[in-house]
C-alpha cells in the first residue's frame, strides 16, 4: 500500500513538473497582465492540432497575442479581452514590403495572425483595445524622446498609423471566421485583414471611435470575403476596401445587411488602390450620421475596378450620397473604373455637419462652399466607363447662395482636375451643380433618378462635362 501511494505521489509530482504555466487559472481581474499565459494556451492548442480556447466571464488584460492555425478563441458572455495601454506590450509582424511606401499601414495589433489557417474568434464577449489611453501613452513617449515615432504627424499633433496598434491584424490567412463578439476602441484601425482568403465577418458589434484613423473594417487585397449583419460605429471609414499590391486585388467580396455610422465614409474602395477591386457586391446597408460619402469608389494609384454592384442603400443625415473617382496620383500608372451599377439608393443630405456628435470629427475643408453634389469624375484621357444609376431618390438641402461661392456654367471648365490629389468629394472645391456632377465619362445611364431639394438652390440639378453616351430614362 505504501509503495502504491508513493508511486501515485511521484506520478502527481511528475505531472505537476511538466504541466505548462498556463494550466493555472489565467488571471481575469483586469489588472494582472496575462499575455504570457494566454499565448501559451493558444500555442498549446495549436501544438495539439487545434481546438477551442474558452475565456469565461472576467476581464483579461493582455498585450499583443498571436493566433495560430486551427485555434478558436471563444469569449463567453461577460468575458472581456482588454488591451494593455503599455506600448511596449505590442510587437509588429514582419510583413513583406508593399508597393505603397507611404507608411500608413501598421502591422501590430492586440490580436494578430501571420499565415494562419482555420482560425476563429467567436462568442458574445468583448475585445476592448483601450485605444485612447494607449495612443496618448504612445504620444507621450514620442515627446519625451523615449520612443520616437519617425512618421509623427506634426500638423495634426498625433502619432502616425505605424506607431499605433490596431485591434486586429491578420496577414496572409486562410479560412477566417470572426463572429458575434463586440469590438471596441482601437488606437488605430479596427479589423484589418491583409492578403487573406475565405473570410467571414458576421454579427459583429463594432464601436471604434476612440482616436484618429478608427476605421471599422479594412480589407486589403482580400478574396472571397463575406461581411454580414454587422453594426459599425467608427470615427473613420466604416468598411474600407484597400489594395496595396500591384499584383493582387480585392476579389469576390460581399458586404451585406450592415448598419453603419461614420465620421468619414460608410463603404469605401480606396484610398490605397494599387492592384484592383473586382466582383464586389454591396447590398442592404443602412447609413446614418455619416460625414462623407455613403458609397465611395476610388482608383487613384492604378487599380482596375470592375464588376461592382451596389443596391438597397438607405442613408439619412449623410454628407454625400455617391462619390466615384478615377485619378492618377501614382505617377505613370493608369487605372480603370468601369461596369458599376448603383440602384435602389435613398439618401437625405443635411445642410450642416452630420457627425457633430462625434468627439473626433472628420476635418472640414478650408474654403467657402455651398452643399456638394454627388460626383462621378474621371480625368482627361482616362474616363470612367459604363455606369448605371437606377432608382435613386436623393434629397439635398439647397440654400446655396452666389455670395458663398459661384461657378457659372460658362466657367465649368475652371473646376480643377486635381489629377494627383487625394480622392474626396470635396476635392474639386465649389461645383456648379446641386445634385450630380459628371465629368470624363463614357456611357452612363440614369434610370428613374429622382433628385429633390428642401430649399431653393440657384445651380442646375445636373452638370456634365466631357460625357459621351449619357442615357436618361
Q: What is the pLDDT of residues 263-308, one digit of tens each?
A: 999 999 989 999 999 999 999 999 999 999 999 999 999 999 999 9
Collapsing DSSP states into helix, strand and coil, what is residue 441?
Answer: strand
Work out the pLDDT band at 11, boundaries 50, 70, 90: very low
pLDDT at 411 over 50: yes
pLDDT at 155 over 80: yes
- Per-residue pLDDT of 191-250, as tens digits, reads 999 999 999 999 999 999 999 999 999 999 999 999 999 999 999 999 999 999 999 999
Grid look-up 487605372 returns 335
* Beta-carbon count within 10 A of 465 CB: 15
- For the segment 435-459, the average pLDDT, to the nearest whole number, is 98
Strands 462-472 and 197-202: unpaired
pLDDT at 59 over 70: yes
Q: Are 437 and 377 in contact (CB under 8 A)?
A: yes
pLDDT at 111 over 90: yes
pLDDT at 8 over 60: no
Q: How far is CA 64 from CA 87, 112, 167, 193, in A?
A: 10, 7, 9, 16
Residues 6+ apart with CB under 8 A from 31: 61
- For the segment 174-179, the average pLDDT, to the nearest whole number, is 98
- For the segment 393-413, the average pLDDT, to the nearest whole number, is 97
- For the segment 357-367, the average pLDDT, to the nearest whole number, is 84
State the Cα angle at 101 between 95 and 106, rounded to 5°. Answer: 45
- Per-residue pLDDT of 213-223, as tens digits, reads 999 999 999 99
pLDDT at 358 over 70: yes
Q: Output the pLDDT for position 15.
A: 37
Work out the pLDDT band at 17, boundaries 50, 70, 90: very low
* Distance of alpha carbon 133 from alpha carbon 130, whole angstroms: 6
Q: Output the pLDDT for position 266.
A: 98
pLDDT at 374 over 50: yes
Query: What percent of the chain clears pLDDT 90, i.e. is strictly above it?
Result: 88
Q: Between 363 and 320, name the one with better pLDDT.
A: 320
Among residues 202, 217, 235, 134, which one has the least CA distance to residue 170?
A: 217
Q: Output the pLDDT for position 68.
A: 98
Lowest-pLDDT range of 324-328, 341-345, 358-362: 358-362
- Burial of residue 256 (CB within 10 Å: 0-12, 13-18, 19+) is middle
pLDDT, averaged across the chain: 93
Among residues 27, 93, 44, which one has the least CA distance to residue 64?
A: 93
State the Cα angle at 161 between 157 and 166, rounded to 5°. Answer: 125
- Per-residue pLDDT of 30-41, as tens digits, reads 999 999 999 999
Please identify, in words, the CATH class of the domain defined by 22-214. Answer: mainly beta
pLDDT at 334 over 80: yes
Work out the pLDDT band at 357, boundaries 50, 70, 90: confident
- For the segment 79-86, the average pLDDT, to the nearest whole number, is 98
Which value, in Å, is the radius of gyration of the alpha carbons in the chain? 25
Q: Output the pLDDT for position 14.
A: 37
Work out the pLDDT band at 104, boundaries 50, 70, 90: low
**Domain segments of the chain as ranges:** 22-214, 245-256+273-473
pLDDT at 130 over 50: yes
Q: Output the pLDDT for position 5.
A: 42
- For the segment 429-458, the average pLDDT, to the nearest whole number, is 98
Amino acid at each position: 500500500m505504501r509503495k502504491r501511494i508513493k508511486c501515485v505521489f511521484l506520478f502527481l509530482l511528475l505531472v505537476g513538473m511538466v504541466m505548462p504555466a498556463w494550466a493555472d487559472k489565467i488571471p481575469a481581474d483586469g489588472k494582472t497582465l496575462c499575455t504570457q499565459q494566454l499565448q501559451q494556451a493558444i500555442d498549446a492548442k495549436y501544438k495539439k492540432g487545434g481546438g477551442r480556447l474558452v475565456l469565461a466571464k472576467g476581464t483579461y488584460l493582455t498585450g499583443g497575442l498571436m493566433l495560430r492555425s486551427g485555434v478558436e478563441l471563444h469569449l463567453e458572455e461577460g468575458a472581456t479581452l482588454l488591451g494593455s495601454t503599455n506600448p511596449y506590450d505590442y510587437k509588429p509582424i514582419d510583413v513583406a514590403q508593399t508597393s505603397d511606401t507611404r507608411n500608413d499601414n501598421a502591422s501590430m495589433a492586440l490580436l494578430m495572425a501571420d499565415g494562419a489557417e482555420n482560425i476563429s474568434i467567436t462568442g458574445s464577449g468583448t475585445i476592448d483595445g483601450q485605444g485612447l489611453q494607449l495612443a496618448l501613452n504612445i504620444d507621450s513617449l514620442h515627446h519625451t524622446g523615449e520612443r520616437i515615432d519617425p512618421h509623427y504627424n506634426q500638423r495634426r499633433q498625433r502619432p502616425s498609423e505605424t506607431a499605433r496598434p490596431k485591434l486586429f491584424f491578420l496577414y496572409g490567412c486562410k479560412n477566417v471566421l470572426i463572429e458575434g463578439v463586440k469590438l471596441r476602441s482601437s488606437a488605430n484601425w479596427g479589423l484589418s485583414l491583409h492578403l487573406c482568403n475565405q473570410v467571414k465577418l458576421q454579427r459583429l458589434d463594432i464601436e471604434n471611435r476612440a482616436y484618429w484613423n478608427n476605421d471599422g473594417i479594412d480589407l486589403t487585397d482580400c478574396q472571397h470575403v463575406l461581411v454580414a449583419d454587422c453594426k459599425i460605429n467608427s470615427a473613420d471609414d466604416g468598411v474600407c476596401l484597400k489594395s496595396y499590391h500591384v499584383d493582387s486585388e480585392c476579389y469576390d467580396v460581399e458586404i451585406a445587411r450592415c448598419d453603419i455610422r461614420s465620421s468619414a465614409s460608410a463603404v469605401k474602395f480606396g484610398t490605397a488602390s494599387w492592384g484592383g477591386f473586382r466582383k464586389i457586391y454591396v447590398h442592404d446597408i443602412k447609413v446614418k450620421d455619416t460625414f462623407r460619402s455613403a458609397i465611395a469608389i476610388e482608383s487613384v494609384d492604378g487599380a482596375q475596378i470592375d464588376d461592382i454592384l451596389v443596391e438597397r442603400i438607405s442613408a439619412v443625415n449623410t454628407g454625400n450620397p455617391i462619390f466615384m473617382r478615377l485619378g492618377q496620383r501614382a505617377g505613370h500608372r493608369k487605372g480603370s473604373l468601369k461596369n458599376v451599377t448603383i440602384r435602389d439608393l435613398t439618401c437625405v443630405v443635411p445642410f450642416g455637419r452630420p457627425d457633430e456628435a462625434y468627439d473626433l470629427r472628420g476635418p472640414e475643408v478650408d474654403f467657402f462652399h455651398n452643399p456638394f453634389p454627388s460626383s462621378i469624375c474621371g480625368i482627361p484621357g482616362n474616363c470612367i466607363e459604363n455606369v448605371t444609376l437606377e432608382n435613386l431618390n436623393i434629397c439635398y438641402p439647397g440654400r446655396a447662395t452666389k455670395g458663398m461661392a459661384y461657378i457659372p456654367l460658362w466657367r465649368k471648365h475652371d473646376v480643377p482636375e486635381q489629377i494627383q490629389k487625394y480622392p474626396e468629394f470635396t476635392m474639386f472645391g465649389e461645383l456648379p451643380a446641386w445634385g450630380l456632377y459628371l465629368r470624363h465619362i463614357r456611357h452612363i445611364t440614369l434610370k428613374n433618378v429622382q433628385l429633390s431639394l428642401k430649399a431653393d438652390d440657384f445651380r442646375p440639378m445636373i452638370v456634365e462635362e466631357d460625357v459621351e453616351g449619357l442615357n436618361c430614362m
